[in-house]
Amino acid sequence: MKKFILILVFLSIFTAIQAQTYRNMEWVKNYGSPDSIEWSATTKDVYWNVITIGNTQVTGEKTNILVTKFDDSGSIIWQTDWNGPMNGFDYGADVICDAIGNIYAVGASHYNNDTTFDITIIKYDEYGNIEWETNYDAGKNDYPTKITNDMYGNIYITGTSEGDSTELDFITLKIDNIDGALVWASRYDYNNHMDIAGDIVTDPSGSLTAITGGSEDSIGIWDYTTIIYDVDGNQTEVNRASASGSDINKPRDLVKDNQGNYYLIGVHNNGSDNDIKLIKLDSSLAPVWTSIYSNGGGGTYEEGNTLTIDDSGYVYIGGWQENLGAGERRFLVLKYDKFGNLIWEQSLWPDENKPVSEITELNVTGNNVNIVGYCTNTSNSDIVTARLNADDGDLDWIEIWENYKGSIDHPSGIEQIGQDIYVTGRTTDSGHVRWIVVKYTLF
């Protein structure tokens, strides 16, 4: 009997060990010298290389757009910094790759003068050579937010453009990937108030392009606003949803499922605190359902920062939850089905000595929910990477990365390539701010 019990104990332990995912931090790379503007982005190419974009300070050139390509060993394959014609401030905002390894970078630059920003787009071949560059200038300040592409390689950008009498407007561009020519540009203004674009998606054929962002209904009253454009840039549909109390300083995510439905997240103020608002729209932007997440019905703040969808149509939200008066902010991950039902929720507190934590990015690969965020106290912050099981939200593993004691470390992106996790962000390194890439190998 004792042997039987021992065998059962051994089998249970062995099964638990087999279920665990082991990981090893393979390398950390520091590079660049960014200024205080924290725009940055990460993507991967078809060859499983990691590409990052940001800015770096250069003597006599202020800041340049910095694009860096890493291989899986952490070696820099190539790195290029782009200086605009005015030797002014140039900031990288987002980056994507196409199916043959070309890289498209978008940023804000002092292109035509040193007082206003233009949207600058640069195409690199897989070796880092510039194939073309172009800019969009509507006369005043123009800022990009996101870039995407369709199956034919056409480039789509959304951002915010300052109008003559309309304050800030949504601006959406379509760019020919062969020569960088502007195919169309479309603006959206509502009642001459503030409109700030947050995200963009397109269908594979490029026949429909959708953007979302915050748009003032009246001064200080904001709506979630989603717009669809046809292949020629004509506005075909608009959906405005009330978002009183929303924080437009952090544009929320927009995703599209394989049935053509759209999901977006924002903030819902219930009169005493903030909740997470998830909206589903059909392919014509007609409302399907709205779900509001409020833990316990009050007394806590919840906000969603990032949104993704898996191949089965389940929606995942990453953000944070804070107990009012307690000074504790925890990681929060939510999973919904396509009908708006909450499947599970997971709240994590990475480090009790750093009571404020927040998820900044998440993605789903297979049955894994990969998340990255930070935890902080009043003096320093660390980068937190974790993985949850997509079925039940259980924590698989968590890693806290600190450059050195007292450093301020902040993530910007996470990518899974094969069995490897790459985390990008910023760190203080001997008193200087640097970009960083951290690689974890899973086995």
In a domain, 429, yes or no: no
Q: Does position 94 have pLDDT exceeding 50, yes or no?
A: yes
Residue among 194, 198, 235 nearest 217 (CA): 194
3-state secondary structure of 125: coil
**pLDDT one-digit tens code per residue, 311-359:** 999 999 999 999 866 778 999 999 999 999 999 999 999 998 899 999 9
* CATH label of the domain that carries residue 327: 2.120.10.10
Q: Does position 17 have pLDDT exceeding 50, yes or no?
A: no
Total Cβ atoms within 10 A of residue 418? 10
Dihedral sign, Cα of residue 125, residue 128, residue 130, residue 132: positive
**pLDDT one-digit tens code per residue, 239-278:** 998 755 554 444 478 999 999 999 999 888 777 888 899 9
Q: Residue 356 class from Cβ within 10 Å (0-12 exposed, 13-18 middle, 19+ buried)?
A: middle
Backbone angles phi, psi at 17, to 5 degrees: -65, -40
Report yes or no: 351 and 385 within 8 Å, Cβ to Cβ.
Answer: no
In a domain, 296, yes or no: yes
Average pLDDT value for residue range 92-98: 97
Q: Give percent above pLDDT 90 in the chain.
A: 76
Report yes or no: 108 and 102 within 8 Å, Cβ to Cβ.
Answer: no
Cα 44 to Cα 78: distance, rounded to the nearest angstrom: 14
Residue among 62, 29, 4, 2 nearest 401 (CA): 29
3-state secondary structure of 16: helix
**pLDDT one-digit tens code per residue, 171-225:** 999 999 999 999 999 999 999 999 999 999 999 988 899 999 989 888 877 888 9
Instruction: Kindly indicate the confidence band of residue 18, based on its pLDDT and cuts at 50, 70 and 90.
Output: very low
The token pair that represents 299 in the structure block: 């007394």
> Beta strand 182-188 with 23-31: parallel, antiparallel or unpaired?
unpaired
Report yes or no: 77 and 49 within 8 Å, Cβ to Cβ.
Answer: yes
- The H-or-E segment that residue 216 falls in is strand 208-218
Counting Cα atoms < 13 Å in the Cβ hemisphere of 440 gives 22
Q: Provide the CA 83 distance to its chain's centre, in angstroms.
A: 25
In a domain, 193, yes or no: no
Average pLDDT value for residue range 132-137: 97
In a domain, 271, yes or no: yes
Range of the domain at 387: 252-401
In a domain, 147, yes or no: no
In a domain, 63, yes or no: no
Which pTM was predicted? 0.90
Dihedral sign, Cα of residue 16, residue 351, residue 306, residue 135: negative
- Beta bridge partners of residue 322, listed in sequence order: 301, 329
Cα 176 to Cα 197: distance, rounded to the nearest angstrom: 22
In a domain, 186, yes or no: no
| Residue that wins the pLDDT comparison between 6 and 94 | 94
Q: How many structural domains are present in the chain?
A: 1
The token pair that represents 128 in the structure block: 């880092």
Q: Give percent above pLDDT 70 in the chain.
A: 91
Weakest mean pLDDT among 8-22, 224-238, 407-421: 8-22
Report yes or no: 361 and 307 within 8 Å, Cβ to Cβ.
Answer: no
In a domain, 281, yes or no: yes
